[in-house]
Structure 1
Amino acid sequence: MVARSLLALCLAAVAAAHGDHGEQKIIAGPLQSLWYNRLPGDGGTQADSVFSGISTFGRLPYLPCLSHKDITYDIAFIGAPFDTGTSYRPGARFGPSGIRQGSRRLNLYGGYNVPLETNPFNSWATVIDCGDIPVTSYDNTYALHQIEEGHYSILSRSPATDADKKGPSLQGKTLPRVITLGGDHTITLPLLRSINRAYGPVTVIHFDSHLDTWRPKVFGGSPSEVASVNHGTYFYHAAQEGLLRNDSNIHAGIRTTLSGPSDYENDGYCGFEIVEAREIDTIGTDGIIKKIRDRVGTENPVYLSLDIDTLDPAFAPATGTPETGGWSTRELRTILRGLDGINLVAADIVEVAPAYDTNAELTTMAAADALYEIMSIMVKKGPLSGLEVEAGDDL
């Protein structure tokens, strides 16, 4: 496999460069990154501690995917460090690095997901961390262009598995899955533009405390075209651009105040159904799961966008626009696991702003654990070659 070959070359280069300082080699499975360093002098070995080394998501191998087009994978993590579309607390540009820090312990004991009965770190899938998309902080329009092009570069290449088999993309090909680490929620617009280029309009599952379908004049006043695109209006623009599959999208965890009942009417125009956060008190997690599954189905490609403010600030204080009355980390993870079997082609997690976290890193750990559930669902589902949608179908 090209990715593994490149990794082997990198390791050989490291060993050659260090000479007498010792050799390095990977001794774990293909998807894990447990390193053993041969110590100089006594010839012994020492395992790299979970709290040491360079941070990648779940200590996965890092490969520079954006600069090396021949690297292949089945699931890739990519960062989008952008936060100049936020309306309250900035700081989500540090989200990708914070989430990676919070993910260090994910595969400490082997990575096996007990409830989902799968191990996303050691399976059929080649999973890697591609680092971050270079994003300017001085020009929002260009930054969103960078995110779209960077994401599409990662999304549009052949996967490591079943590259020669038909898949659900517009060209009838099987593609890898991409999980994006945000970044404020504005990044979902360029990500959906990238997804649209590959799959056409897709169904969206949106976990959030806010609707994010506001008309620009309602949210932010829309003093300019640039200002009209922000983390509260990106779904409005996505709907206007035809990126969403009509009448199959759903919000889950909503509990924000509104400018008025008309906000819900506009939300309907964008093709969303709403599950309020408080509904968990009456229908429980099973009821929330059923509403989501009934809405999106199990046949078509689905994009999942998770705002960490879905969680109550007691569990995730480090976010741009916190809202009380949210779900617990346990409840969210249960709901995510309930989506097992849905055809997730890509996902993102957004609005993690580590500067507002506690010293215990509550938010970054919660974000990493939520992505662990999403990653597990993708691995358990198998390659996207198993999703039989004819090219050109109305997605």
Structure 2
Amino acid sequence: MARLAALILAASLVASASAHAPEGESHELWQAKYGNAMDLSFSGVVTFAHLPHHKCLEAPDQAFDIALVGMPFDTSVSYRPGARFGPNAIRQGSRRHASNRAFSIPWNSNPLTAGATIVDCGDTPVSPYDPALALDQMETAYSTLLARKVATEFTEKYGGTKAHALDGREHPKLISLGGDHTIALPALRALAKVYGPVAVLHFDAHLDTWNGNLYNGAWTEQSKITHGSVFWKASTEGLISNTSSIHAGIRTRLSDFDDLTHDSDVGFKLLTTDDIDEMRPSGIVRAIKERVGDAPVYLSLDIDVVDPSMAPATGTPESGGWTTRELKAILRGLSSLHIVGLDLVEVSPAYDTSAELTGMAAADLVQEFLGMLTRGMGAARGRTEWRPAVSRGVLHDERGEERAAGTGTGEGAHDEL
């Protein structure tokens, strides 16, 4: 007790001296103790990549170019629940990401310092008891944030989607952190008000276009809306293009061939997981770009497109998926698309390993999203995308030509697909 009392007394004396010290001396003491220290990877309040956190829905004047928004909803899953904890898991997985250590060799840039104002808006309040209310809450939140003015000239100059907007202006880009795949529906409802029907670029092991009327247990109108029928519902509401949408990475089992016929009727073209064996990532990229064209695009990525050996924490895992490296290569080839919104869904951390494999993989993929947005915007320079392959100090492009690695910091250091 005597030792404790002495410690308390010492602490109070230091506090008293600090309180009465001139401001300059206090600052010098801080500098001597801590320097210009910022949060370490394992310290501080958890936001995505240590980005500034704002309760954007409560701050109507908060402007941004890109915002990450949690959608902790999982009330419409068909197998394993738990994705309501996905936004937190993705943020936890991003703790080693930060603006001072986010330079990407493949992108040859740092997306967090490329010029866009990027914030973490926290989680949207959603009801865990009433799915209809939750969908309305998410749509309202998405529409509210989408209507914000962009923060900097970066988006005004390089956004590339102004021509698609019904009001003729640039809108910020939102990255939704799911949550189950149902969260795509309120996002598409909000986006359709701004852009009209959009193309959907859907990375997933499953189609998610199943007819909600045929679901076992779908006895009410609301129960027909699930994470497996979300794009069917979006199609019936006229929210998505039936000539420009495409799946990538599909490997699910089907009831029968009629599922594929129905999927085509909904408006999707299909690329399976196995297609990558012959097409390679570059071929997948070309097929996607040919299908999507110049349409405004909503990119929706279910973490189960990745093989469960690399991302086990998901509600409906399927073996034989793409590797994270393959998926990253594909994403890096798509930055010239006119992306108007993105999501990463179905991370259910209760099924993860103690090493948090899925959360880290998801965070890395969201980092690629930021690379796509900032590279596609900031390097509008003809709106080309860059995907170098670094091998033994040499960059190779698809024509077999070579450039010395590290000979440039922009277009000269990369080769166009």
TM-score interval (norm. to shorter): 0.7 to 0.9
Partner of 2:142: 151
Q: Equivalent residues in 2 for 1:111-260 (5 A)?
A: 111-162=102-153, 167-260=163-256
Corresponding letter in the other structure for 1:287: G
Distance in 2 (alpha carbons) for counterparts of 1:39 and 1:60? 27
TM-score by length of 2: 0.81
| 1:307 lines up with 2:298 in the alignment | no
Structure 1, unpaired ranges of 5+:
1-18, 23-36, 389-395
Query: Residues 174 and 386 of structure 1: is their aligned pair in 2 closer, same or farther, counting only changes over 3 Å?
Result: farther
Partner of 1:293: 289
Percent identity of the aligned residues? 48
Partner of 1:89: 80
Instruction: State the Cα distance separating 1:74 from its structure 2 match.
Output: 0.3
Partner of 1:51: 42
Deviations 1:325-369 (CA, angstroms, capped at 9, x unpaired): 101111111111111211111100000001110011110111111
Query: Residues 261 and 251 of structure 1: is their aligned pair in 2 closer, same or farther, counting only changes over 3 Å?
Result: same
Q: Is 1:204–1:250's contact at 8 Å kept on the other side of the alignment?
A: yes
Q: How many matched pairs?
A: 355
Distance in 2 (alpha carbons) for counterparts of 1:387 and 1:92? 39
TM-score by length of 1: 0.85
| 1:106 lines up with 2:101 in the alignment | no
Instruction: State the Cα distance separating 1:93 from its structure 2 match.
Output: 0.2
Corresponding letter in the other structure for 1:348: D
Which stretch of structure 1 is more off in the superposition, 104-113 or 135-144? 104-113
- What RMSD over aligned residues (CA atoms) do the two structures have, in Å? 2.4
Partner of 1:27: none
Q: Tell me, what secondary structure is at the counterpart of 2:212? A: coil
Q: Tell me, what secondary structure is at the counterpart of 1:148? A: helix
Q: Is 1:220–1:227's contact at 8 Å kept on the other side of the alignment?
A: no
Query: Residues 383 and 42 of structure 1: is their aligned pair in 2 closer, same or farther, counting only changes over 3 Å?
Result: closer
From 328, 344, 351, the equivalent of 1:349 is 344
Instruction: State the Cα distance separating 1:132 from its structure 2 match.
Output: 0.6
Q: Equivalent residues in 2 for 1:10-89 (5 A)?
A: 43-45=33-35, 46-89=37-80
Distance in 2 (alpha carbons) for counterparts of 1:102 and 1:210? 24
Q: Tell me, what secondary structure is at the counterpart of 2:249? A: strand
Instruction: State the Cα distance separating 1:221 from its structure 2 match.
Output: 4.3
Deviations 1:31-69 (CA, angstroms, capped at 9, x unpaired): xxxxxx997696543442110111111110001110011
From 329, 332, 349, the equivalent of 1:334 is 329
Which stretch of structure 1 is more off in the superposition, 318-327 or 112-121? 112-121
Structure 2, unpaired ranges of 5+:
1-17, 22-26, 384-417
Q: Is 1:167–1:385's contact at 8 Å kept on the other side of the alignment?
A: no
Q: Whose Rg is larger? A: 2
Instruction: State the Cα distance separating 1:154 from its structure 2 match.
Output: 0.9
Q: Is 2:51–2:98's contact at 8 Å kept on the other side of the alignment?
A: no
Deviations 1:232-253 (CA, angstroms, capped at 9, x unpaired): 0010010000000121100000
Q: Tell me, what secondary structure is at the counterpart of 1:62? A: coil
Distance in 1 (alpha carbons) for counterparts of 2:107 and 2:136? 36
Deviations 1:134-184 (CA, angstroms, capped at 9, x unpaired): 001000000000010011111111101248785531111111100000000
Q: Is 2:41–2:97's contact at 8 Å kept on the other side of the alignment?
A: no
Partner of 2:269: 273
Distance in 2 (alpha carbons) for counterparts of 1:345 and 1:338? 17
Instruction: State the Cα distance separating 1:108 from its structure 2 match.
Output: 7.0
Q: Tell me, what secondary structure is at the counterpart of 1:382? A: helix
Segments of 4+ in structure 1 off by > 6 A? 37-42, 383-388
Corresponding letter in the other structure for 1:340: S
Partner of 2:7: none
Q: Is 1:210–1:256's contact at 8 Å kept on the other side of the alignment?
A: yes
Corresponding letter in the other structure for 1:182: G
